[in-house]
Amino acid sequence: MKVVLKVFRFNPENEDKPKYEKYELDLREDAVLLDALNEIKWKIDGTLSYRRSCRHGICGSCAVKLNGKNVLACKTPLKKAIEDFGEELVVEPLSNKKEKIIKDLVIDKKDFWDKNHKVKPFLIAEIDEHPKTENLIKPEEVEALEEADYCIACGCCYYACESLRENKEFLGPQALAKTYRFSADKRDNAKKERLSLVDSLGIGVWDCVKCQACIEVCPKGVDPFTKITHLHNQIFEEGIAKKNVATKHAEGFVHSIKKHGILDEGMLVLYSEGVNVIRHLPEAFSMFAKGKIKFPWNMPKSDQLEEIQKLVEISQTHELKD
Amino acid sequence: MKYALYTGCTARESTPELLKSTLTVAKELGIEIEVLNEASCCGAGHLQDFDEFLSLTINARNISLAEKRGLKLVTLCNTCQLMLENTKRKLDSNEDLKEKVNEKLSEIGYKYTGSSKIQHFLYAILEDVGLEEISKHVKRPLNLKIAPFYGCHIIRPSKTHDGDNLNENPYKPNAIENLIKILMGESIEYDSKTRCCGFHVDLQNTPLSEKLTADILIDADNNGAEAIVTPCPLCHLNLDVKQRSAAKEANKNINIPVLHLPQLLGLAFGYSKEELGLNHHIVDVNL
């Protein structure tokens, strides 16, 4: 199989800017992207740098960007890649920010690891060093972790996260999914401490932009976004949630649905913001002038509202406490 | 051809032009529309943060409204589309959960069966009408450079959309480009077309939302777009209503009109500004 790869090359030690090098390769039909990189390094240009180790999708070291998608090189069949992206395959590092590049496809993942450490990605429990019986955990208790335990910390989701692009403080999908891995574990004693950390505005769950990029890229099916949703739920269940614009916003939907069936957009902003609502006034005036605002007297309601109200009443499982 | 239309809340409130232009375009294409006036809010991606189960029951009811009528459920908003599909995938793959949800629904006389397809208007007309038929309605070729902006929830996660978006490649979508082409416009290529506008953090982290929106606007502008088109009213709110504040946050001058997808079709079909509700936009549309 003929494959043409355009590979990002940059050595910050002696080059000013990155360039793309083109390689024409002849590979087996079942070759994966890592085979192609190895072929280049071993037979064409030994100076190409990239991380690799297990070649079985376990170590997480060979993550790179292929035509805009973060992938594990060892788990990406080239035939499928050509089907998805056409003949021109472009390989880049997970982040192409100049300051992050160590060399070619190898980046400095310090920020990623710092955040992983910040959520204490280990079991916090009193452990008897000389137990008399096994410390058993039931199958259904393990099921509660869902796929969160499959994370191999490859960074695919972290470097695809849209929130992180403009909010460097955000913990990111990997560290948050890891938090859930332990906050959902019956044996862990630090659930409240973990939830308090990820409830913090600016770094925690409330700053996820819900772009779904983490689900799309995760090569292990961890589904970090859904774990972030579960963390939100745990924050309310455990009474950790503080009344603020973010928690009031999430809770405000229930109020609005009960009252109108559909969302009262204006009231939701007012309910979430409290007195801070004045910061939205300039926008509100321009929207009003263009017929984009409904007032209480012309706010539409869903037909058969009483059905919706009853359904909310019988299926609501959480309340916002202070 | 008949659709059960789930308008979403935004099309009935802050983007009335979306509902108006959708109904105009549907009529032109010979699609009969039954608006689901009994539907509730889908929770907009936030209700499930507060209460996952409640989000499932109210959306199961929303879906069953179309099921009762034996119609395809058609949405106008990326986030509504994802919330409804999320519910469908969860219930269709988990009998226990479906039973629990149906227990609640039975108390108000409803039942979720999973029989209706859920599709965004963009993909519904591509599937049911098709490019060739749509092209026959073009009376006024666009002759414009358009930046297609997909938004997140219509293309990601692909496993949830599972064919409902015609298996769009989330890294290289082409549905809007194909439409622009038959409407005789030119779509521009730019990196931001599959990025996030930040709408869902607009209240709790306004600077983040504005920066993400500004990135898209600047990228479209730098690549010569005369207008942006989006299938999502939430993206529209950020790109149009918040354009001035986003530009201010980025310290740039930006003035680029943003169209809803049905408005783009309507323009090419020869409808007037009023018929498409272009008078409701914050950034003037003079195309």
What CATH number did the domain enclosing A157 receive?
1.10.1060.10
My answer on whether A181 and A250 are in the same domain is no
B2 Cβ under 8 Å from any chain A Cβ? no
My answer on whether A263 and A204 are in the same domain is no
Instruction: Give CA separation, B282 vs A273, B148, B189, in Å.
Output: 23, 19, 25
DSSP codes, A217-235: H-TT---HHHHHHHHHHHH
My answer on whether A117 and A232 are in the same domain is yes
For residue range A93-130, list pLDDT tens digits in order: 999 899 999 999 999 999 999 999 999 999 999 888 89
My answer on whether A114 and A84 are in the same domain is no
My answer on whether A146 and A230 are in the same domain is yes
My answer on whether A116 and A230 are in the same domain is yes
Instruction: Give CA separation, A46 vs A37, A41, B244, in Å.
Output: 10, 4, 51
CATH number of the domain bearing residue A84 = 3.10.20.30
Residue A269 has pLDDT above 70, yes or no: yes
Within a domain: A320: no
CB distance B41–A233 less than 8 Å?
A: no
**Which of residues 59 through 118 in chain B touch A, CB cutoff 8 A?**
61, 82, 104-105, 107-110
Residue the block writes with tokens 């942006």: B228
What total of structural domains would you count in chain A?
3
- Which of these three, A107, A142, A164, is where a domain ends? A107
For residue range A182-207, list pLDDT tens digits in order: 999 999 999 999 999 999 999 999 99
Instruction: Give CA separation, B229 vs A7, A133, A195, B179, B265, in Å.
Output: 33, 64, 40, 11, 10
Of A233, A244, A256, the CB nearest to B52: A233
The pTM of this model reads 0.96
My answer on whether A199 and A264 are in the same domain is no
Check residue B287 and give its pLDDT.
87
Residue of B nearest to A169 (CA): B208
Yes or no: say if B75 and B121 are a contact pair by the CB < 8 Å rule: yes
CB distance A166–B15 less than 8 Å?
A: no
Range of the domain at A226: 110-126+133-237
Length of chain A, please? 322
CB distance A245–B38 less than 8 Å?
A: no
Within a domain: A321: no
CB distance A249–B203 less than 8 Å?
A: yes
Within a domain: A322: no
Within a domain: A172: yes
My answer on whether A145 and A217 are in the same domain is yes
Distance of alpha carbon B110 from alpha carbon A143, whole angstroms: 31
My answer on whether A221 and A118 are in the same domain is yes
Of B49, B198, B212, the CB nearest to A229: B49
Longest CA span, chain B: 56
Distance of alpha carbon B22 from alpha carbon B12, whole angstroms: 12
Within a domain: A168: yes
B chain contacts of residue A143, beta-carbon cutoff 8 Å = none
Average model confidence (pLDDT) across chain B: 97
My answer on whether A9 and A92 are in the same domain is yes
To the nearest whole angstrom, how far is the Cα of B125 from the nearest Cα of chain A? 24
DSSP codes, B120-142: EHHHHHHHHT-HHHHHTT-SS--
CB distance B198–A316 less than 8 Å?
A: no
Residue A82 has pLDDT above 60, yes or no: yes
- Which of these three, A237, A256, A276, is where a domain ends? A237
For residue range B161-201, list pLDDT tens digits in order: 989 999 999 999 999 999 999 999 999 999 999 999 999 99
My answer on whether A179 and A272 are in the same domain is no
Within a domain: A296: yes
Give the number of other Cβ atoms within 10 Å of residue B184's Cβ. 14
Residue the block writes with tokens 């401490």: A193
CB distance B54–A254 less than 8 Å?
A: yes
Backbone φ/ψ region at B113: left (φ over 0), alpha (ψ -120 to 50), beta? alpha
Within a domain: A34: yes
Positions in chain B whose pLDDT score sits under 50: none
My answer on whether A145 and A29 are in the same domain is no
Within a domain: A268: yes
Give the pairing type, strands A63-66 and A88-92. antiparallel
Q: Which of the pair, A54 or A317, is modelled with greater confidence?
A: A54
- Which of these three, A38, A73, A107, is where a domain ends? A107
Size of interface A-B (CB pairs under 8 A): 204
Give the pairing type, strands A101-103 and A106-107. antiparallel
Q: Which of B252, B145, B246 has the alpha carbon at shortest distance from B189?
A: B145
